[in-house]
Structure 1
Amino acid sequence: MKKTVHAILNILGTILIFVVLIGILVNANSAPEGKGFFGFKGYTVLSNSMQPTFSAGDYVVDKMVAYDEIKKGDVVSYYPDDYTIVTHRVKEVTPQGFIMQGDANNAQDDFTVTKDHYIGKMILVIPMLGRLPDLLMNKYLWIAGAILILGIVIYGEFQRRAQRREGV
């Protein structure tokens, strides 16, 4: 039984490490001018302008599909300036570019998205994943984690000592 639990925990730990590494690589290459990671970019949502599709704190993954493939109704990311990334729905495709609007907004965006400002098409939303960095900065979480690890180590040591006494 112990070997089975240990094997399952090893597999889950390996999967978790793999997912975290992929996330780090996607995030590290997600700047607007970045090349992405195998054609994908990811962003943390900062506002509720696209509710109920996604909310602040969610993580959006974009696929870098060609600008010409985008159609009305697609959700795309773009950067209107050097400091902002916006992910909204295409309301209209015009010769000048995409007319955009957040699902929760009453008005269209002031910015028409051209090929120069287009990033990618949203393909996935991971709820609340964007809150993870803030959560990891919480000192109480780190204290609780340290206490949990210490408890596991102490429990393991007591188990080893009990086994040695039984074996003697």
Structure 2
Amino acid sequence: MVKKALSILGSVLFGLLITLVGFSVYLTISAKANPNEIPSVLGFKPLTVLSNSMYPELEAGDMIFARELDPTEVKRGNVITFKENDGRIVTHRVVKVISEKGETTFQTKGDNNNVVDQELVSSSQLLGMMGFNVPNAGHVAKFAASPIGAFVFFGVPFFFYVLLEMNDFLKRRKRDKEQMA
């Protein structure tokens, strides 16, 4: 019973590992193919929070998944991600939606900031609205992208998977020899 549970657990973990590797490869290829665009998976853009301007909702090192949306869907209180004129990517809360002359802009503010952002955000700068976040996942993603992290997250589990497969192979071989004798 324990062997079967460990075997199922190993298969599930290996499946998750393969999915994670596939996801990482897709994001890497997408980022290299279009360096000026953030890769999107199923309509969500994974981004790492770099500051505490949205504390306590978001902390530096959290990972958010910004959902692509039409600018007309944005409402006061939504947390949006946008690209500033200097190219920096920012995630702040909408404090005011302004519609003038057929153009929609957003006044934003970090929850942990005392004042609103100086520049209004135009619809063309909008990258998405926060769909959900995963605390500290940005730290994990950064570590996994390093050579040591890649070894820890991919090399070590693969090594143990190979050991388990070799062990199963040797046990089957021994059992087959005993049945033939």
Work out whether the TM-score is over 0.5. Answer: yes
Cα distance, 1:108–1:114 mapped onto 2, change above 3 Å: same
Report the TM-score when normalising by structure 2. Answer: 0.71
Q: Which residue of 1 aligns with 2:121?
A: 113
1:41 aligns with 2:54: no
Residues 80 and 128 in structure 2, CA contact (< 8 A), matched pair in contact too: yes
Cα distance, 1:127–1:22 mapped onto 2, change above 3 Å: same
Give 2:44's aligned amino acid.
F
From 43, 54, 63, give the equivalent of 1:50. Answer: 54
Give 2:22's aligned amino acid.
L
2:47 is paired with a residue of what secondary structure? strand
Structure 1: distance between partners of 2:132 and 2:149: 31
Q: How does 1:135-150 map to 2 (within 5 A)?
A: 135-136=143-144, 137=146, 139=148, 142=151
1:110 is paired with a residue of what secondary structure? coil
Cα distance, 1:55–1:64 mapped onto 2, change above 3 Å: same
Give 1:21's aligned amino acid.
G
How big is each residue's C-alpha offset from its partner over 1:9-46, in whole Å with a ceiling of 9 and x where there is no partner?
A: 10122034324533654574697645723321111111
Q: Which residue of 1 aligns with 2:16?
A: 15
Report the TM-score when normalising by structure 1. Answer: 0.76
2:81 is paired with a residue of what secondary structure? strand
Residues 89 and 103 in structure 1, CA contact (< 8 A), matched pair in contact too: yes
Structure 2: distance between partners of 1:138 and 1:23: 14
Residues 32 and 119 in structure 1, CA contact (< 8 A), matched pair in contact too: no
Paired residues, what number? Answer: 167
1:92 aligns with 2:93: no
Q: 5+ unaligned residues in a row in structure 1: which ranges?
A: none
Q: Which residue of 2 aligns with 1:73?
A: 77
2:124 is paired with a residue of what secondary structure? coil
Q: 5+ unaligned residues in a row in structure 2: which ranges?
A: none
Measured on the aligned residues, the alpha-carbon RMSD in Å equals 3.8
Cα distance, 1:20–1:73 mapped onto 2, change above 3 Å: farther
Q: How does 1:143-162 map to 2 (within 5 A)?
A: 153=163
Q: Which moved more, 1:68-77 or 1:27-36?
A: 27-36
Structure 2: distance between partners of 1:52 and 1:111: 23
Q: Using the aligned pairs only, state the percent identity.
A: 29
